[in-house]
Amino acid sequence: MPEGDTVFLAGQRLDEALAGRTLLRAELRHPRLVTNDLTGRTVLGVHPVGKHLFTRFSGGLSLHSHFRMDGAWHLYRPGQKWQRPAHQVRAVLEVEDRFAIGFALHDLELVPTSQEDRLVGHLGPDLLGVDWSDAGAAEAARNLAADPDRELGPALLDQRVMAGVGNLYKAEVCFLLHASPWAPVSSIDPADAVRLARKLLLANAWHPEQSTTGQLGRGRQHWVFERGGKPCRRCGTRIEVATQGDDHRARISYWCPRCQPTPSRSVAGPPDSRR
């Protein structure tokens, strides 16, 4: 699932291409939206909130989209070949000399701009929000600390705690905190986790490459994420990988068993079967 920085960058690029321009064509190829015609409206801007995007139009309407696992917005010039198949297209927004194509956007909804909060009001503070403040950081830390016995990995992924962290940053934050994803939240300083999550997201917000090590070379961008079976960059121990959780929210976790010792199974711990 895309991380908050990926959605943020998509929002910035869409805003640069569309804001202040009139829609010459607007197709919403979603079963609930096919009868809506936005042609002739002006795009007022594109606003990211965590992993959500709102494209705002004149007349008080907003198009809400969420990438889920495989969704994306692409920008094209006239005549450019689309990089994904036409059957995945869910939205086409055309202005002069630019096309914004929404692929595999399973969550697409047209709402009054005044009611955007209905879709994102449950989210915690947005780590990349333009209104981020010390108060927002403190709120996110309180949200994280509210359930001290909860496993750290799922807590970091909970968008109600703070919006923007995905599986990549979950794994990297845990590593940099020297904490197992299965450790209880009480084992770390929540304020440190919030500061670190925002720092990593912010470092990658304006470019598509996602590095948490400060390096962009192939295979050198991450500490543990997607490095199962490879040596830890700190101590050389083999990186472990396992599924954390047993429902639809289950995610793959990566960790170094030496740098991030896992609590005993009486408190928490990974499954016996590891990949």
> CA 201, CA 192: separation in Å to the nearest integer?
14
* Of residues 52, 208, 31, the one with CA closest to residue 117: 52
Distance between terminal CA atoms of the chain?
20
245: how many CB neighbours lie within 10 A of its CB? Answer: 14
Q: 3-state class of 52 per DSSP?
A: strand
| Residues paired with residue 47 on neighbouring β-strands, in sequence order | 54
* Of residues 13, 6, 215, 245, the one with CA closest to residue 127: 6
> CA 49, CA 164: separation in Å to the nearest integer?
8
Write the CA distances from 50 to 4, 103, 183, integer angstroms: 5, 19, 25
228: how many CB neighbours lie within 10 A of its CB? Answer: 17
Instruction: Just list the catalytic residues.
Output: 2-3, 51, 251
> CA 46, CA 18: separation in Å to the nearest integer?
8
> CA 89, CA 96: separation in Å to the nearest integer?
20
Query: In the block, which residue shows the tokens 């720092």?
Result: 199
